[in-house]
Amino acid sequence: MELPLRITVLDPPRGVLFRLQRGKSDLVPPARESAGSISFDFTVRVERNPLNFLGPFTQGPPASRFVYVNSGKRAGQADSCWDRRAKITLMTITPSLIEQAIASPGSVIEAQIAGTGRDGGPACASVPFVSPWSVRQRSATSSI
């Protein structure tokens, strides 16, 4: 089963490029960008028993799958002083959220993260959610 997901990066640092990592090195541009947010839309395949997320965007072992949002040099911005990637866990997407998304055609499961880290640069490493994974209408713009 294909599951539509969206990661929205809130308040990213100005002038820093962000890309979603596909596979080992492919970079995917945002689906939407505004002054205050960047959104990446993508799909993962889901196996239910046991719960497992598969596909070119998923990284890590089955028990701890995640996706990367790269920034600066890792996003292809050669002249950037930043070389980072944010690790966003998929493991808090519950079977209940999956069922809600399936039952609501045109929906997406979205999580929101802060785009700026404590040092003023792009968020990196394992990032906490500003808003955890939840079911939203696909056409809805991201906001808190």
Predicted model pTM: 0.93
Query: What pLDDT score does 74 carry?
Result: 98
Query: What pLDDT score does 48 carry?
Result: 86
Q: pLDDT tens digits for 37-50?
A: 999 999 999 998 89
Q: pLDDT tens digits for 67-119?
A: 999 999 999 999 999 999 999 999 999 999 999 999 999 999 999 999 999 99
- Which residues have a Cβ under 8 Å from the Cβ of 72 and sit 6 or more positions away? 16, 17, 80, 81, 82, 83, 84, 121, 122
Q: pLDDT tens digits for 123-143?
A: 999 999 999 999 998 765 444
Nearest CA among 115, 43, 118, 108 for reference residue 72 = 115
Query: What pLDDT score does 144 carry?
Result: 34
Q: What region does 90 belong to: left with phi over 0, alpha with psi -120 to 50, or beta? A: alpha
Token reading at 8 = 């929205």
Q: What is the mean pLDDT of residues 16-26?
A: 97
Token reading at 120 = 């003023």
